[in-house]
Amino acid sequence: MDQFTLNLIVVGATFALYIGIAIWARAGTTAEFYAAGQGVHPVTNGMATAADWMSAASFISMAGLIAFTGYDNSSFLMGWTGGYVLLAMLLAPYLRKFGKFTVPEFIGDRFYSPTARLVAVICLIVASVTYVIGQMTGVGVTFARFLEVSNDTGLYIGAVIVFAYAVLGGMKGITYTQVAQYVVLIVAYTIPAIFISLQLTGNVLPQMGLFGTHEASGLPLLTKLDQVLTDLGFNSYTGHHTNTLNLVLFTLSLMIGTAGLPHVIVRFFTVPRVSDARWSAGWALVFIALLYTVAPAVGAMARLNIIDTIYPNGPQAESLLYEERPDWMKNWEQTGLLKFEDKNGDGRIQSYNAGNEAFAATAAERGWAGDELSINRDILVLANPEIARLPGWVIAIVAAGGLAAALSTAAGLLLAISSAISHDLIKGTLNPDISEAGELLAARISMAGAIAVATYLGLNPPGFAAQTVALAFGLAAASIFPALMMGIFMKRINDKGAIAGMLAGLIFTLVYIFVYKGWLFIPGTNQLPDNAANWIFGISPLSIGSIGALLNFAVAYFVSNATEEPPQEIQDLVESIRIPRGAGQATGH
């Protein structure tokens, strides 16, 4: 059986499973559509949360970014995982205790203001739409390679599949679909990693292989990788080479952005009790760790395999002839995500750090005229089994896993957007008397519209999947997270402070991103300031969310203290959310 047919069978089988589950778990009420009837078991919810959490950025893009940058991009791992701990400890149980369906509903009630709820809807939609672009990018990349269609066609197919099970099933259908998607994606990610770890180090566990011995050279794997990279003018893999302030702010932005993402928070509304929310968080961390502890090994081993492919006899010897390139390069060239340009006309593939001035003399001696191989970071995990020449069934499973990761998170995000429009905007503001059937119809129409917008924006994404997602985290960090934290832990914050803080954080972060990502023309300049030399204090647009969050906190605090206190019933409400019933008797106070 040829590889295309095998891919089609495996991917088609998983899609049939997802749609079948959605039909079985079809939502019949708004409670089932928004929160799965609040009857999901903690283990089931933990697995669904993990699938919701591990998006295309985690599955497809994260290992690629680590592979091509090294230690510095471990900030993705630290920020995303640390943020989930923050969410589980500081937000999830309290929000579940409040007993609402959506994040804007909590903000509207806590800050006793329809305007605050509306601003929260705007913040949620901006962050979620930005995030879902990254998922649709991942869908397009996966389809483009494994089903041999164009990137655009892949996006359209993915949109149809999400429409079929998300619009039909709502949160109830999405929850059980995500359980299946988690199983698919974790198997797809782990099996190739085990094979490659065995090939390179003899260790069955990739986590051990990362710190094991590279069998072909007898050196520690990371030492060998550092050696071949520096031989080609690249930075060492294990060294720290970037702005420390930017790294810290980026990690912080990912952490607090994680804790402010509505599609993850809403998962804790689906369990019966507050204690179940805590157990869900614990189980989700276990399921997430199964992938996140493997990702660094996948990145390191894949980078070494790519270099060994281009320089089969080492970086000091002649590189690979283009005509003798392996099949995996030919396959990915057809997608346009891998490109070769013979700059010196010798018919060989040279890949090195052409921007390293210290290496320029060495490159000139070898007759190299520039880096000739361009590899999109998003293809690395998907191409990994082909690079390592693994069996065809492994390649097919990886294709299904990449799609599962992208579709699971896309569905959660689209539900968050749909809920914000139908429940918070239409029912909460525009038409409070809408019937339940009308609200359910509005939710499904809103989701269909969100899918159409996400597909359109996914056709022209602003970066790699993980980079686009990082922008979404920054927006959530600057707008939603501070409002939630202050809403739970600061009784003095009033409606005016919350509204001013959210708007300040959101507008500041959006303007910085648009200016310094080069999407906004600056009068009087000849070129857009889209590089590190122009960033304020070297702070990347991907890191600015943490500064936006600080601005949000500061504005909310000062505005609240300059205006009247919240009503006493609101302060009592905050107290009741934060302190468990019976605490006074237990402590004697």
Domain ranges of the chain: 3-301+389-580, 304-386
Pull the structure tokens for residue 496. Answer: 């005016």
Supply the pLDDT for residue 477.
94
Nearest to 328 by CA among 312, 309, 304, 347: 309
Both tokens of residue 129?
């739409």
pLDDT for 382 equals 86
Which band of pLDDT confidence, cut at 50, 70 and 90, is reported for residue 416? confident
Residue 177: which pLDDT band, with cuts at 50, 70 and 90? Answer: confident
Contact 58, 291 (CB under 8 A): yes
User: Per-residue confidence at 578, pLDDT binned at 50, 70, 90?
Assistant: confident
Q: Tokens 């400890």 appear where?
A: 89
pLDDT exceeds 50 at position 589: no
More confident residue, 244 or 28: 244
Structure confidence at residue 466 as a pLDDT band (50, 70, 90) = low
The Cα–Cα gap between 231 and 245 comes to: 29
* Mean per-residue pLDDT over the chain, rounded: 86
Which pLDDT value is given to residue 508? Answer: 96
Please answer whether residues 399 and 139 qualify as being in contact, where contact means their C-beta atoms are separated by less than 8 angstroms. Answer: no
Residue 437 burial by Cβ neighbours in a 10 Å radius (0-12, 13-18, 19+): exposed
Return the biggest CA–CA distance within the chain.
83
Backbone φ and ψ of 570, nearest 5°: -70, -40
In the beta sheet, which residues pair with residue 151?
none
232-239 average pLDDT score: 94
pLDDT tens track for 403-413: 888 788 888 88
| Count of residues making up the chain | 589
Sign of CA dihedral 206, 210, 212, 218: positive
| Partners of residue 339 on adjacent β-strands | 374
Q: Where are the alpha helices (DSSP H) in 103-211?
A: 103-110, 114-146, 151-162, 168-201, 206-210
The DSSP line for 85-134 is: HHIIIIIHHHHHHHT-SSHHHHHHHHTT-HHHHHHHHHHHHHHHHHHHHH
User: How buried is 584 (Cβ within 10 angstroms: 0-12 exposed, 13-18 middle, 19+ buried)?
Assistant: exposed
Of the pLDDT bands very low, low, confident and very high (cuts 50, 70, 90), residue 583 is very low
CATH of range 3-301+389-580; options 3.30.200.20, 1.20.1730.10, 2.60.120.10, 1.10.1660.10: 1.20.1730.10
Decide which of 382 and 507 is more confident: 507
Q: What is the mean pLDDT of residues 548-556?
A: 98
Answer whether residue 420 shows pLDDT above 80. Answer: yes
For 564: left if phi > 0, alpha if psi spans -120 to 50, otherwise beta; the answer is beta
| pLDDT, tens only, 36-50 | 778 889 999 999 988
H/E segment holding residue 78: helix 75-86
Cβ-proximal residues to 526 (8 Å cutoff; 6+ apart), any chain: none
Three-state SS across 487-517? Answer: HHHCCCCCHHHHHHHHHHHHHHHHHHHHHHC
pLDDT of residue 236: 94
Other CB atoms within 10 A of residue 347 CB = 11
Q: Assess whether pLDDT exceeds 50 at residue 525.
A: no
> 429-447, pLDDT tens digit by residue?
889 899 988 988 898 898 8
| Range with the poorest average pLDDT among 158-167, 171-180, 330-339, 522-531 | 522-531
Instruction: Kindly report, residue by residue over 281-301, the tens digit of the pLDDT.
Output: 889 989 999 999 999 999 999
E strand or H helix that includes residue 412: helix 392-419
pLDDT at 161: 81
DSSP secondary structure string for all residues of 325-374 = --HHHHHHHTTTSEEE--SSSSSB---S-TT-GGGHHHHHHTT--S--EE
Torsion angle (degrees, nearest 10) of CA 15, 284, 280, 135? -50
Q: What are the residues facing 373 on neighbouring strands?
A: 340
Which pLDDT score is estimated for 588?
38
Residue 501 has pLDDT above 90, yes or no: yes
Instruction: Please report which confidence band the pLDDT of residue 344 belongs to, taking 50, 70 and 90 as the band edges.
Output: very high
Q: How far apart are CA 163 and CA 236, in angstroms?
A: 44
Q: What is the pLDDT of residues 365-398, one digit of tens each?
A: 999 999 999 998 888 888 888 888 889 999 999 9
Confidence category of residue 527, pLDDT binned at 50, 70, 90 = very low
Residues 6+ apart with CB under 8 A from 145: 331, 332, 335, 337, 379, 382, 383, 399
Question: How far, CA to CA in Å, does 5 sit from each of 1, 150, 187, 396?
Answer: 7, 17, 20, 9
Q: Residues 6 or more apart from 407 whose CB is under 8 A from it?
A: 18, 135, 139, 158, 161, 162, 181
Q: What percent of the chain has pLDDT over 70?
A: 93
Distance, CA of 272 to CA of 43 (rounded, Å)? 12
> Would you say 541 and 478 are in contact if contact means Cβ atoms under 8 Å apart?
no
Q: Range with the lowest mean pLDDT among 58-67, 226-235, 358-367? A: 58-67
Query: What are the residues facing 375 on neighbouring strands?
Result: 338
